[in-house]
């Protein structure tokens, strides 16, 4: 395969010093884009494959939208080059990606601590749950305390106090889960 360079160190240093480059073997031999460089190198490989190695590539498998693919087909390196667009390759790739996405959400094991089949918690019956009034009283704050917390938690995510206070209170992300725990709820399913 050929070598393409878009850079010559001797020419580059001379240009930086505002001088004329001396006599040298310039390694810069490409002036186009990198993608056209890639296409040109591969095209040259196809064109010289018979002379260099005595082989002909009989099939090209491509998706049809590649610059390299188009360049090879336009150059016609052999008389009978069989081109095949493998649409089923792309379809198969999309199908496997879709199946993979679905399988991420399918859990083969039944989770013991979640959903309809949830078991009783590990807490012993001797420990009573905290009374509702006591829990609500720990959350009640005076106006001065609320203003103080507001000033201290102004940076939100970077404030540990904000995170602690947020955990104590009902937020929009917790609302649905909490409402579903009430036996007398009226929730539209």
Q: How many CB atoms are closer than 10 A to CB 72?
A: 22
DSSP 14-54: HHHTT----S--------S-HHHHHHHHHHHHHHTHHHHHS
Q: Per-residue pLDDT tens for 76-94?
A: 777 665 555 566 667 777 8
Give the C-alpha separation, 1 to 115, whole Å. Answer: 61
The model carries a pTM of 0.39
Q: What is the pLDDT of residue 116?
A: 61
Take residue 150 and report the two structure tokens written for it: 């507001």
DSSP 8-state code for residue 108: S
Distances (CA, A) of 3 to 27, 32, 49, 79, 137: 10, 14, 16, 26, 77
Q: Per-residue pLDDT tens for 12-29?
A: 899 899 988 888 888 888
Q: Per-residue pLDDT tens for 86-139?
A: 666 677 778 877 877 766 666 566 556 566 666 665 656 666 666 667 767 777
């Amino acid at each position: 395969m050929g070598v393409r360079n878009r850079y010559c160190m001797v020419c580059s240093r001379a240009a930086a010093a505002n001088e004329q480059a001396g006599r040298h073997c310039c390694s810069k031999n490409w002036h186009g884009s990198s993608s056209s460089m890639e296409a040109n190198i591969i095209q040259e490989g196809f064109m010289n494959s018979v002379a260099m190695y005595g082989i002909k590539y009989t099939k090209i498998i491509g998706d049809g939208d590649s610059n390299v693919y188009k360049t090879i087909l336009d150059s016609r390196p052999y008389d009978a080059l069989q081109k095949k667009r493998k649409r089923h390759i792309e379809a198969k790739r999309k199908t496997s990606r879709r199946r993979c996405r679905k399988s991420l959400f399918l859990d083969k094991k039944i989770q013991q601590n979640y959903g309809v089949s949830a078991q009783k918690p590990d807490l012993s019956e001797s420990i009573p749950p905290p009374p509702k009034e006591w829990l609500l009283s720990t959350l009640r704050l005076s106006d001065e305390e609320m203003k103080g917390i507001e000033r201290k938690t102004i940076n939100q995510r970077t404030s540990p106090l904000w995170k602690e206070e947020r955990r104590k209170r009902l937020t929009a992300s917790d609302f649905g889960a909490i409402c579903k725990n009430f036996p007398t709820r009226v929730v539209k399913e």
